[in-house]
Structure 1
Amino acid sequence: MYLWKREGGFTYQQRIPVSVESQFGKSPIRVNLGPLPAVAARKRAIILSGAAMQLMDDPTMNRETLIHSLKALNAELQELHRRHFPLGLRITTALQEANELESEGDIEAARVYRRKAKELAAEKASIKNFKQRLEVISSALSKDSVAWEAERDTYQSVVRTLGALGGQVQLPHAQHMQPVQTVPSQPAEARDERAVTASTNLSAAGRIVLDARRNALDMGDGNGADSRYEERLEATFKAFLEIVGDKPISYYLPLHLQDFATALGRVPTNRSKYPIFKGLSLKQVIEKNDRVPEEKRVRRLSASTIKSHISEIKMIWSKATAGVKDVANLNDYNVTMPAAASASIDREGLPVASINKWLVDAVTPKVMRKPHKAWLPLVGLLTGMRLSEIVYLQSSDIVAIEGIEVFDLRRPLIIKGKEIDRPLKTKTSVRVVAVHPLLHECGFIEFAKKQRGRDGFIFPHYHGANDPADAAQKQMGNWMVALEIHEAQRQVFHSLRHNAKSWFRIHAGDSLADRQCGHAASSVGAKYGFKALEPEELQKLMSIPAPRSLDFSPFVELRRQAD
């Protein structure tokens, strides 16, 4: 047996024994193994060599059938490897779907996905076990005839299992197997098992990139690797494989990006939240939504969302194909936005009338019985903080800087006595937030300092959910709908952040408005100075007049009555 490496990968060569030259000819048999790590290629060659020696014992075998059988066996071994690789991604995706459904209260549907994840895990374990059996066989075949005889039954079992996996190889029962005679091959160069070639399937290449990214973000304590953006990347990658297909990376063309974008233009938004789409593949979801009358059809993804997904696929592609020859350049391809996509929505602040209506309702006895709900609009309006930042506030986050009280979002969360990284959206979100005097006058700061419940969270009610920010978002959305001040995607809780940003910008300028709200500076020059607001800057933000035409008297009067 010989094994050598060329540009396209390893090639296995098997000599023809003198005793059967009349049946198979003198020239050796060659099989291209393709791009494999050196160790894996040698194991593959040993198994093929054992199969070749067994096939040559058959008096009815001819050279053409022998070569075809060896190539078919090699293809089955390659398919075994290909099937094993993406199972980890599919298991992770199923578990993520289950978690999302559980957070929405759909326990029955979540069970379906957990059952699916369990089945996939069993399949992965089965294939892993099968690959370990192949390791045993390759080890025995590389030794002597005694070792080979001891492993003959295992070899026959492997052959039968490969056939059950869809293989075309039918090897006759061996009456006697000669020991494999190997000729030492040239030492192969060391190669990382994560090495990607043009023939590597995209699922495998992308999985390497995503796993490496998660490992890089993992803090070693389980924090940092499960951010929403990482989950979004996983979902985008899964969608691309489902729509375009999982092929060797040499298969893909820039036009496949257009195919992906065109399909996304018909995908309904928040599809996992609609019962009619439960358990359907992405293509089935698209078809089902298309069949619904236009007036009842679920709104499709917007052009801006599709652009984000395309950008994410380009990022994964560029990292997965770095250094690989003869693959398409997707990064320079400009995708045409599909006409079927929904128009991007420009969010803006809420009208004054809507905010005043909201503030009046917030102080009613019915709502104030749920302080975790009642205070959120006021805090969002007067601080400009994101809802996800507000629900994670702890009473210990209210600190004094040179006598000035602020919310300090630079501090870690303290949960069960342990420090946990605060979940913030961007680097610029790590900041101090000025506390306007209106928050004192309305009674919120006094309320917040008294909270000593679940881990000191000011809004502990939401922390019983898997995703506290999502639970708060749903409650705020339902409240706005009930007050008739909600407009899908346009007039939502996040709109208060637009109101706040405009208020700060008018009275304190762009720079202070950006730093108060945690937005990135618009120029290099604007990035100079201290990251956190200085005392003089805090004073300036605290001294600005109340937002024009807004009525805070319901909260002020409520506090006066309480005193």
Structure 2
Amino acid sequence: MPKPLLMNRKSGLYVRFFVPVDLQARVGSKYLVRSLQGVRADAARLMAAALGYALSKAFERLRMDPMSDPDDLLDKAKAGLATGKVYDIEFPNGLKIHTNGTDAEHQRVRETIADLTQAGAFSSAPPIAPTHPKAGLLSERIEKFLAQMKGQERSETNHFDTAFTLKVFLGLVGDKDLSEVSPTDMDTFMDALAHWPANASKKPQYKGLTPKQVVAKAKGNSDKKLAPRTKEKHLDRLRVFLKNCMDRRLIAYNPCDGLRVTGKAQDEEQTKQPFNEKDLKALFDPSHITPIMPHKHWIPILGLYTGARLNELAQLHVEDIECIDGVFGMHIRRKVKNPSSRRFVPLRQELLDLGFIDYIESAKQAKFEHVFPGLPQDGNGPGDPVGDWFNRTNLRKTCGINDPSKSFHSFRHTFASLAERSGLSDQRIARLTGHSSGSSVLRRHYIQASTLQERFEDIGKIRFPELSIKALKKGFFEPYFKRLRAVEARKERVI
């Protein structure tokens, strides 16, 4: 039953009730507040308790019958709140209450009880059964939703992450009709997120376990848990799925509405921060760079000077590096995060001076399709192993940067921050980084030949700190290419 909170204001005593999270969207409010119209002491507490009971019944009916009118049910419940005190009052369910008050107050309470009875607060009738039709098994709806995602050409990473989240949810709540997914199921999911171990799929002790078994095992261990932002992403994916079901009228409301993992302050605290000049000097200190593999050498440099996302860089093909109207740049056009991510990014002079174009030519001569051969092109994408190496080994262990708000994605924030300090407008920064900018021309065509020179000049205006990055001699990675070809040949012979 909703717990009443009595509030003493200048205009008199009020009672406030918290609306259950799963019903706030339908009710349209987080709280319900009502004046007690001058009533105090025992009578005020009685009236608040009676209204709380009536509201609990109204909330129950809203859950049982998603097609019912919340305004009508709540109006009936609130109509039972009049003022007054009682002597001896017997409720329809047999409960007797004794208190003190005037005859007029006593009569008002009796009238209130009659109103509450009419509203159904004390009815022993069985709850109204749902009248909505069956919507299909949860597993079936998940399968169809994921198929729709593929048809919309979402990125493989997005599809993979969404499939994982929905698989966990299904494993936790069981396969049931979609219409039977309830707030209790949301509680189960939120509890699982609170205990789910970070990188569980990569830890042998959790291999082969069902989601329920993972949670049970994790509750007895001291493993590091999911970061708040990661939990929020899981909740967001589930929310999108259920909203799709609601939009298609398969369910009456989204059980995820009103749920959050973090508050605004926590979100701001978890936001990735840009690298400062000290960080950059440590990251590109020649003693910290061992260019054995091309992706470990070039991807951090490209991240700094282009602001591109990790997977955008890791999946580049050699044909994506092109010279257009005298401007060298790279096409970001394959598996992108959103439509505005498709773009052509001019290369700064530093990248040309460091020999990036020479490296591309050597990869072409070795007949490799990808700019960074050897990276896996399936699963979470080629950026996954690069991120693991950079964030866990290079950043933390080699360079000693242990701030949890800094990762490879901080290069993107660094680029945007330096661009802003250099006087570029938000729209021009978005044009370089692939952020959505409202009705930006990015949504129409990502090469934008007419603005190419302007973008080349913009990226050249950004003032970066002076760093001691050494250019590698031409053909430096040719031995790596030969070793990779030898490994591929051995694999083919085994097959």
TM-score normalised by the chain length of structure 1: 0.53
Partners in 1 of 2:170 and 2:425 — Cα distance? Answer: 46
Shift of 1:384: 0.9
Q: State yes or no: 1:206 paired with 2:131.
A: no
Partners in 2 of 1:463 and 1:481 — Cα distance? Answer: 24
Partners in 2 of 1:336 and 1:464 — Cα distance? Answer: 34
Partner of 1:461: 374
* Secondary structure of 2:340's aligned partner: helix
Letter in 1 for 2:308: M
Contact 1:511 1:526 in 2 (8 A): no
Contact 1:253 1:330 in 2 (8 A): no
Contact 1:289 1:298 in 2 (8 A): no
Partners in 1 of 2:288 and 2:142 — Cα distance? Answer: 52
* Secondary structure of 2:425's aligned partner: helix
Partners in 2 of 1:337 and 1:363 — Cα distance? Answer: 38
Contact 2:239 2:256 in 1 (8 A): no
Partners in 2 of 1:512 and 1:333 — Cα distance? Answer: 35
* Secondary structure of 2:374's aligned partner: helix
Letter in 2 for 1:357: A
Contact 2:315 2:370 in 1 (8 A): yes
Of residues 267, 281, 291 in structure 1, which corresponds to 2:220? 291
Q: State yes or no: 1:389 paired with 2:312.
A: yes
Shift of 1:433: 0.3
Query: Which runs of 5 or more structure 2 residues have no equivalent in the other structure?
Result: 1-131, 477-495
Q: CA separation of 1:377/1:245 partners in 2, compared to 1, >3 Å: closer, same or farther?
A: same
* % same residue: 22
**How is 1:265-280 mapped onto 2 (pairs within 5 angstroms)?**
265-280=194-209
Q: State yes or no: 1:300 paired with 2:206.
A: no
Shift of 1:531: 4.4
Partners in 2 of 1:229 and 1:257 — Cα distance? Answer: 22
Query: Which runs of 5 or more structure 1 residues have no equivalent in the other structure?
Result: 1-195, 218-223, 411-421
* Secondary structure of 1:368's aligned partner: coil
Contact 2:342 2:442 in 1 (8 A): no
Contact 1:354 1:485 in 2 (8 A): no
Partner of 1:509: 425
Shift of 1:437: 0.8
Shift of 1:257: 2.4
**How is 1:418-497 mapped onto 2 (pairs within 5 angstroms)?**
422-452=334-364, 453-463=366-376, 467-477=381-391, 478-487=393-402, 489-497=404-412
Contact 2:232 2:262 in 1 (8 A): no
Partners in 1 of 2:248 and 2:316 — Cα distance? Answer: 46
Partners in 2 of 1:265 and 1:542 — Cα distance? Answer: 42
Deviations along 1:98-129, one digit per CA (max 9) or x if unpaired, are xxxxxxxxxxxxxxxxxxxxxxxxxxxxxxxx
Letter in 2 for 1:271: A
TM-score normalised by the chain length of structure 2: 0.59
* Secondary structure of 1:265's aligned partner: helix
**How is 1:139-218 mapped onto 2 (pairs within 5 angstroms)?**
197-198=133-134, 200-214=136-150, 216-217=151-152
Shift of 1:462: 1.9
Of residues 132, 151, 157 in structure 2, which corresponds to 1:228? 157
Partners in 2 of 1:488 and 1:299 — Cα distance? Answer: 17
* Secondary structure of 1:406's aligned partner: strand
Contact 1:198 1:249 in 2 (8 A): yes
Letter in 1 for 2:346: A
Q: CA separation of 1:247/1:371 partners in 2, compared to 1, >3 Å: closer, same or farther?
A: closer
User: What's the C-alpha RMSD, in Å, of the aligned pairs?
Assistant: 3.3
Letter in 1 for 2:162: L
Partners in 2 of 1:206 and 1:250 — Cα distance? Answer: 13
* Secondary structure of 2:195's aligned partner: coil
Q: State yes or no: 1:359 paired with 2:284.
A: yes
Q: CA separation of 1:241/1:502 partners in 2, compared to 1, >3 Å: closer, same or farther?
A: same
Letter in 2 for 1:337: V
Contact 2:194 2:225 in 1 (8 A): no
Shift of 1:251: 2.5
Contact 1:407 1:433 in 2 (8 A): yes
Q: CA separation of 1:539/1:226 partners in 2, compared to 1, >3 Å: closer, same or farther?
A: closer
* Secondary structure of 2:285's aligned partner: helix
Contact 2:270 2:405 in 1 (8 A): yes
Deviations along 1:123-160, one digit per CA (max 9) or x if unpaired, are xxxxxxxxxxxxxxxxxxxxxxxxxxxxxxxxxxxxxx
* Secondary structure of 2:275's aligned partner: coil
Of residues 235, 239, 254 in structure 2, which corresponds to 1:314? 239
Q: State yes or no: 1:500 paired with 2:400.
A: no
Q: CA separation of 1:559/1:499 partners in 2, compared to 1, >3 Å: closer, same or farther?
A: farther
Letter in 1 for 2:226: R
* Secondary structure of 1:400's aligned partner: strand
- For these two proteins, the number of residue pairs brought into alignment is 335
Partners in 2 of 1:378 and 1:283 — Cα distance? Answer: 42
Contact 1:233 1:312 in 2 (8 A): yes
Q: CA separation of 1:209/1:474 partners in 2, compared to 1, >3 Å: closer, same or farther?
A: closer
Contact 2:339 2:443 in 1 (8 A): no
Partners in 2 of 1:468 and 1:256 — Cα distance? Answer: 35
Shift of 1:373: 1.8
Q: CA separation of 1:447/1:314 partners in 2, compared to 1, >3 Å: closer, same or farther?
A: closer
